[in-house]
Chain A
Amino acid sequence: MATTLATKRLSKELAKITDIMPDGLTLVSATDFTSWTIDLTVLDANPLYLNQTFRLKFLFSDKYPMEPPEVVFVSLHEPPRPIPMHPHIYSNGIICLDLLGQNGWSPVQNVQSICVSLQSMLTGNSKNERPEGDTAFVATNRQRPRDINFYYHDDKV
């Protein structure tokens, strides 16, 4: 039941975003209903992210949209796709955003709304830094992003 719900819902979303994609977003690949990649650019002239494009990877479980998808930034050399500098984005691409956690997620959210949230998260940022303890976290973390219990200590950024 849940599997088909996920597939149906994703096919609806896919149909919608292939039709009209919001500015700054490009669908790179969506070959199946388990993993999609989307390119994202920041719309305003934030000097931190000027002329940069970032690649997002979505992983959907059977329980989507009841459970959040796993969303990470991925880095690539060709074409250049860096991990954006942000106090809530670890250098391995893991994003600390309550929207993507079990508690912050709501089935009303969708791929497009996640992308737009991330866009605005980057737009509003002015700190060229990684989260606290980034090196240690990146070196030790073996958990999947959605299983990590982030402490949302800072809602301002």
Chain B
Amino acid sequence: MPPPNTPVAHTPRSLSVDFTESLPFHNITVPPPNTPSSALDSPHHNRQYRSRAPQVVEEAVETDSSEIDESQHIDYRALTYADTVNENLICPICKVAFVDPVDTECEHTFCKECIAHALEHNDVCPFDRNPLPQPATLTRSHKIVINQLDSLLVECSSCRAHVPRSMLRNHLDRYCKEALVDCPDKGCLQQVRRKLVDQGCLHNNIACPDCEGIHQEVAMSKHREESCEERQRQCDHCGTNILRCKQTQHEEECVELIVPCIWVQYGCEHQCKRGELNLHKLECNFRLMGPMADILRKEIQTLQSDVRYLTDKEQLQERRIKFLEGGQRESHRHSNYEEWSSQALTPLADSAQVEPLSESTNEYLLNLLGDQERRISQLSSALTELEGKQTMMLFNETVPIKNQIAELQSNQQMTSMHIRWFMNWRKEDQLRLQQQQRRFGGGGGCAGGSGGASESEVDGGGSSSELATPRRSPDSLTRGLVTKL
């Protein structure tokens, strides 16, 4: 079985058909019985409603057929399957492999068309006579069933090739050589087999060369072979009836036709009917020489072609040598490569002057051009190589620089952190000094008050943790700082 997504991925067209077909069938439910509609109240309308149920199904079938008219209709019930289809995949009503299988509530599977028809006659399951509620709720069969059906090999009705059933539409729409497609001429409304599309519109009328009847070009060969009244004639030589359109083919094998001996090119002048040629072969004077001459002829032919090839090559080399000689002479004057290449055409003129008849200018030019192209390609490859090297180098150099920058940045950050901390510490130090000065230098009573005020000031302004213990003795404070450092 193909992977589940293959048929879908490859058959966009059939997919769309599938979709529209299956859409009404996902749930064939006309409004549920208790739909708040006044129409459903009276028994009369109720009956109408019941009879409407199969109609829904019919509508779906109708839309199918209208769609089918547009593209080529595939009659899935008339398909020939490559192998015998498993009994379990055969619809009990139409007795062919399910087409659009749907399941009833009692879990029996039928083609959606078959069950629709069956329900028109009797609203029970055809299989177990289980009454099916009207409208019947038919659900699309399980994917695995559909996959199995899709992978069944069927015979293409046009070209007899075996294709998976799900691919048939795609095959006919795109690939089948025998399928009828629209005529390549837009104005022509007729159809033509796909294999003839390349030949343009073949729907113009032409006269049959045999019976002079007028037929379309597309049908002419069939007409001449099968239906033309004048299609047969007697062979002038053997008297059998042959098709006029096949006359040349017949003449190549007609046993009564007078043909020359097979060794005619080596001098045998014997002529006889083709049928008797075998007898002559045994006694022909050339029967021994013929095969030998054949071998020799072949040998000579190969030798000739070799010689031709070698002469060509030699000429080319001669020309190249001349060109190179001329180039050398020129290069004395142009030491700069670019200048030289821009004037590379001058040697041509020189050599042409030297030997104007022996060279064909065009070939020479072409040679030159080829040379230049080769050089250009060499240069461009060298250039790309250089570019690569350059980028590598650049990269290699920038990486350490970047690293250094990063290192420097971190160093700088560290230093600035240190500085900040140091400055804070100095600020505290100054404050402490001021306090001490006030305590020892100022009056006793008011000193306590002012000291307290300054303390509270410090408490509010300072953010470092050391300042959170202002009442500690200065000694212990400095000691703490020293250990921290």
Contact = CB atoms under 8 A, between A and B. Distances in A.
B95 A13 contact: yes
Contact of A8 (B96, B122, B129): B96
Contacts of A106: 118, 122, 124, 126-127, 129
A144 interface: no
5 closest pairs, A vs B, by CB? A12-B95, A108-B92, A106-B126, A107-B93, A108-B126
A4 to B, nearest CB: 8
B120 interface: yes
Nearest to B125: A106
24 contacts: A1-B61, A2-B117, A4-B77, A8-B77, A8-B94, A9-B93, A9-B95, A12-B95, A13-B95, A65-B94, A66-B117, A66-B120, A67-B121, A103-B122, A106-B122, A106-B124, A106-B126, A106-B129, A107-B117, A107-B118, A108-B93, A108-B126, A108-B127, A110-B95
Interface in B96-118: 96, 114, 117-118
A107 B114 CA distance: 9
Contacts of A4: 77
A47 B129 CA distance: 35
Contacts of B96: 8, 12
Contacts of B399: none
Interface residues of A, number: 20
Interface in B121-151: 121-122, 124, 126-127, 129
A5 interface: yes
Nearest to B124: A106
Interface of B: 61, 77-78, 92-96, 114, 117-118, 120-122, 124, 126-127, 129
Contacts of B127: 106, 108
B129 A5 contact: no
A76 to B, nearest CB: 30
Contact of B94 (A9, A16, A67, A105): A9
A67 B120 CA distance: 10
Contacts of B129: 106
Contacts of A105: 122
A126 B405 CA distance: 114
A103 B126 CA distance: 11
Contacts of B61: 1
Contacts of B94: 5, 8-9, 12, 65
> Which among B61, B92, B120 has the greatest number of chain A C-beta atoms within 10 A?
B92
A106 B110 CA distance: 13
Contacts of A103: 122
Contacts of B122: 102-103, 105-106
Contacts of B114: 5, 107
A65 B93 contact: yes
Contacts of A102: 121-122
Contacts of B121: 63, 66-67, 102, 107
Nearest to B119: A66
Given A105-B122, A107-B93, 11 more contacts: A2-B117, A5-B117, A8-B77, A63-B121, A102-B122, A103-B122, A106-B129, A107-B114, A107-B126, A108-B93, A108-B127
